[in-house]
Structure 1
Amino acid sequence: MHDYHVHSNYSDGTFLWHMCAAAEEAELDGIGFADHCNVSARDPQRREKQLFGFNLDATYERRRAGIEHLRERYDFRIYDAVEMDYLPDEEERIAAFLDDAGFDYAVGSVHSVDDRNVQGAGQFRSMSDAERRAVADDYYDTLVSLVESELFDIAAHADLLERTEPLRGFATDDHYDRVARAFADSRTVPEINAGRVLRDYGELHPAPRFFEVLREHDVPFVLGSDSHDPDEIRPRGRRLQQFCDETGLEPVELDL
């Protein structure tokens, strides 16, 4: 059981050692610290970075030293990873940063469309259905670009906009098929993500129909709890294991 997607206090999670203690208690074989990071030169992304304090591009070496200390303490794999915000027009900046930083692996995420974070429900409530469909089109276009870029080992929460009630249900089988074909031709692997399974959304990512389409294209998966707190690791891990048992999914391990 490798959980490739947790967060620490180096972005919006809890202290490294608290997360590792919870991973040990949950009897994980591996835990991956994939803290949020963006290296965008665009004003909205820079402003969001300043507001939330996601500064892993400046602190990853310090976190790496902490991970090395924890590797001496714990008898399971501890991965030094990153969750990068992806924007299609900034692939060169992202690639340069990842090449220089040398993480164990990189997770890519689409969090925003037209500088709107797709998890902010308020900004989408006044939109017409046609406008919301256009947001969904843009989101899945960007996701396909992320996969085709092959900058990342993992694509996180591949239908993130389903968490946002005004955008939920606007994805189509055409969207899913395009993304599935991109994954089938890429080294990038999607995750089964449990980030909202115990909260308001209450579902895993990808949604059931999206998962079916991905399986039809023989796309493999890794597991990620997307935990930010130690108390989330065990219950989210149990839900991921339950899902694997129910669907017969055998998640892959990254070849690191």
Structure 2
Amino acid sequence: MDRDYHVHSTYSDGRFLFQMVRAAAEADLDGVGIADHCSVSDREEIQEQKHLLGFNLDQTYERRREAIERLREETDIAIYDGVEMDYHPAEEGQIRSFLDRAGFQYAIGSVHHLEGVNVHVERYFERQSDADCEALVEQYFDQLVALVESELFDIAAHIDLIERNPALRGYATESQYRRVAEAFTDSRTIPELNAGRALGEYGEFHPSPEFLDVLAEYEVPVTVGTDAHKPGEVGERVRHLERYLDRRNIQPVTVEF
């Protein structure tokens, strides 16, 4: 592993740019991608969450780009100007327009919400019946397939994010994994091996071992991202990813800009 395409900074919910870049250099990476969260949704519930969290990269990306340019002059590590976009099928036009205007080096797509609620919110989903959870997980994979087929993104992030939520964990099926794998075989979008909660309470990488087996069966390549929000997470997750890649005999691909 020589590049990490998924690191956050204070332009969303991470730490200072220079701290994240320094941590990537100390982890002996050749390149690090700053992929802050961004949403261009005009749905009221998403707008409310966006304002509460302060995720406004759609307004600050040029300022961040200037900061990245300055950092490039001070370090030998390659710094990539990326973005992690919230995706919903009804908002493809808005997303495409923004990405065309902003001109990032690459874009990561993510499904973060179901019924307007972030999939991490356990208290909302734990009130749902088994049948409702099954339907919500099906909805998640419907949106994920649409994300891949949209051809808007270079990378698809944490493609079974629902597994982080104990209330939604275990509902995904092999047939859903196969639907996603088939979509990737016909798309330029590459799934990401994401270490966001592999060392935390979830304890697994995304995708899960079972999902990763299906992707391998379809010969779908993967790239890698630590999904680090703090400097101390970068090196720790890089080492964990490298051990996992070796154990699974996976050679991650380099994203072409």
TM-score higher than 0.5: yes
- Structure 2-normalised TM-score? 0.99
Per-residue CA deviations over 1:213-255 (Å, capped at 9, x if unaligned) read 0111110111000000000000100111111100110000011
Match of 1:122 in 2: 123
Match of 2:87 in 1: 86
Any idea what SS the aligned residue of 1:51 has? helix
The within-5 A match list for 1:55-70 is 55-70=56-71
Any idea what SS the aligned residue of 2:192 has? strand
Runs of 4+ in 1 over 3 A off after TM superposition: none
Match of 2:34 in 1: 33
Any idea what SS the aligned residue of 2:250 has? coil
1-structure distance, mates of 2:156, 2:33: 14
Per-residue CA deviations over 1:88-139 (Å, capped at 9, x if unaligned) read 0010000000000000000000001121211111101121111100010000
2-structure distance, mates of 1:105, 1:140: 23
Match of 1:227 in 2: 228
The within-5 A match list for 1:231-250 is 231-250=232-251
Which amino acid letter does the alignment assign opposite residue 6 of structure 2? H
The within-5 A match list for 1:9-20 is 9-20=10-21
Shift of 1:197: 1.1
Match of 1:151 in 2: 152
2-structure distance, mates of 1:65, 1:116: 33
2-structure distance, mates of 1:131, 1:46: 25
Match of 2:99 in 1: 98
Shift of 1:74: 1.1
Any idea what SS the aligned residue of 2:191 has? strand
2-structure distance, mates of 1:174, 1:218: 17
1-structure distance, mates of 2:216, 2:77: 30
1-structure distance, mates of 2:129, 2:255: 42
Shift of 1:63: 0.3
Match of 2:175 in 1: 174
Which amino acid letter does the alignment assign opposite residue 127 of structure 2? S
- Structure 1-normalised TM-score? 0.99
Which amino acid letter does the alignment assign opposite residue 124 of structure 2? Q
Which amino acid letter does the alignment assign opposite residue 189 of structure 1? I
Match of 1:135 in 2: 136
Unaligned runs of 5+ residues in structure 1 are: none
1-structure distance, mates of 2:166, 2:40: 29
Match of 1:3 in 2: 4
Match of 2:55 in 1: 54
2-structure distance, mates of 1:103, 1:193: 21
2-structure distance, mates of 1:105, 1:126: 38
Q: Say what the alpha-carbon RMSD is for the aligned residues.
A: 0.6
Q: Is 2:75 aligned against 1:74?
A: yes
Shift of 1:158: 0.2
2-structure distance, mates of 1:98, 1:255: 17
Shift of 1:73: 1.0
2-structure distance, mates of 1:138, 1:160: 13
Match of 2:114 in 1: 113
Moved more, 169-178 or 126-135: 126-135
Match of 2:211 in 1: 210
Which amino acid letter does the alignment assign opposite residue 60 of structure 1? Y
Which amino acid letter does the alignment assign opposite residue 204 of structure 1? F
**Matched length:** 256
